[in-house]
Amino acid sequence: MIPNSIKYIFRYTTQYTVLLFIGLSVSCTAQNAIIDNLKEAPVHGGLEMEDYWVWGSSVIKGDDGQYHMYASRWPKMLPFHPGWMIASEIVHAVSKIPEGPYQFKDVALGYRGAQYWDGRSCHNPKIVKYKDTYILYYMGSTHPFEEVTQENISEFDLKSKWCIAGRWGKRVGVATSKSPNGPWKRLDAPILDVKPDSYYSFLTSNPSPLIKEDGSVVLLFKGRSYQEEGIKQSDMSIGVATAPSFDGEYTVVGTKPLFSMEHLGEVEDPHLWSDDEGFHLVAKDQRGLITGGKGDGLLAHSKDGIHWEVDENPRAYTKTVKWENGKTIKQGQLERPFVFVENGKPTHIFFATMDGPGGFGNGTKTWNMVIPLK
């Protein structure tokens, strides 16, 4: 069938010009599952903790009927960035309703000794369940040095020994429990290690799993490689790995990432969910190369979790939030999107957020906020 109009998109590179021929109908525009359905954000929703930086939440409804949130936190004695790299722990909070507010209950994954691969920092949790097992994916890291205290904090920054070791050691891991309240069984090794001469030769991080009905797993992750000039990390890439089961062997698919500076654009914080139409992905468009807005959310879709296409109408959200008290505020940071699905329908989207004008060094507080979906 010949469409009503034809749109030609030219993509220019330094080497050649690619002509993409895309047929579009002018009679309709694809609806966006997130941005077209955002309601007002509850002011006291989500999770905030005094004396702690709070970041990146993941929520599941337990067999007890309560909503269980897993989030990262680290003491405000440390700067927000890079404090998380050496002192983050994953905490567990609960609420009777998905919006919250969530009440702190316990530390799910904390410090367990520098000798463990995840002994110093556990970060970026994602919770899923398969049959009777709760599975908590996360990033772990360690370093062999003394603690950072008030006495030596002046030495702590991205170029310090703590951060060099902590960043280089970032790996993806998993912990399991028969209850959302724990205890959690942690592994002695990560499930997704680095690979020489790959786009994830430097680190693996930011896991986002989806378990299919047969128990097999699709896992998106962030990778960085070593740069040729010195021992430095590259820009971010997003890859996909699969496993026959959550406790099976994870294998990275192919040699090229799904998203990178060389392909589509640099994105971060991918989150997966599924419905009757297939797999969906929301992520932060790091540089705005896909959505046109730096730090805005983007949407993509897939039939198998391996091969992905950016949505026709890809912008999922912006940093500007409408709050239920009538205020509209551009958040300093709005990251780590998490779409909560109940009874097969997306009902809420959670974010890690920061006040201030923008930039990790310019905020005074962080919290995990939530926006209900229509």
Q: What is the pLDDT of residues 239-252, one digit of tens each?
A: 999 999 999 999 99
pTM: 0.91
Query: Looking at the domain assignment, is residue 4 inside a domain?
Result: no
CATH number where 271 lies: 2.115.10.20
Tokens 């960043």 sit on residue: 167
Query: Considering the domain boundaries, does residue 126 fall inside one?
Result: yes
The answer to whether residue 185 is domain-embedded is yes
Find the distance separating the first CA and the last CA of the chain, reported in whole Å. Answer: 34
For residue 137, pLDDT over 80 is answered with: yes
> Is 229 among the domain residues?
yes
Decide if 100 is inside a domain.
yes
- Considering the domain boundaries, does residue 15 fall inside one? no
Range of the domain at 194: 47-372
133-170 b/e (C-beta count within 10 Å ≥ 16 → b) = ebbbbbbbbbbebeebeeeeeeebeeebebbebbbbbb
Cα–Cα distance between 106 and 93 in angstroms, integer?
Answer: 7
Over residues 258-303, the pLDDT tens digits come to: 999 999 999 999 999 998 888 999 999 999 999 999 999 999 999 9
Least confident of 29-38, 235-244, 355-364: 29-38
Whether the per-residue pLDDT at 29 is higher than 70: the answer is no
- C-alpha 170/C-alpha 85 separation (Å) is 9
The span from the CA of 357 to the CA of 282, in Å, is 24
In a domain, 135, yes or no: yes
Question: What does the alpha-carbon distance between residue 199 and residue 236 come to, in Å, rounded to a whole number?
Answer: 9
Q: How many domains are there within the chain?
A: 1
pLDDT at 89: 98
Q: What is the chain's mean pLDDT, rounded?
A: 91
Tens of pLDDT, residue by residue over 207-222, are 999 999 999 999 999 9
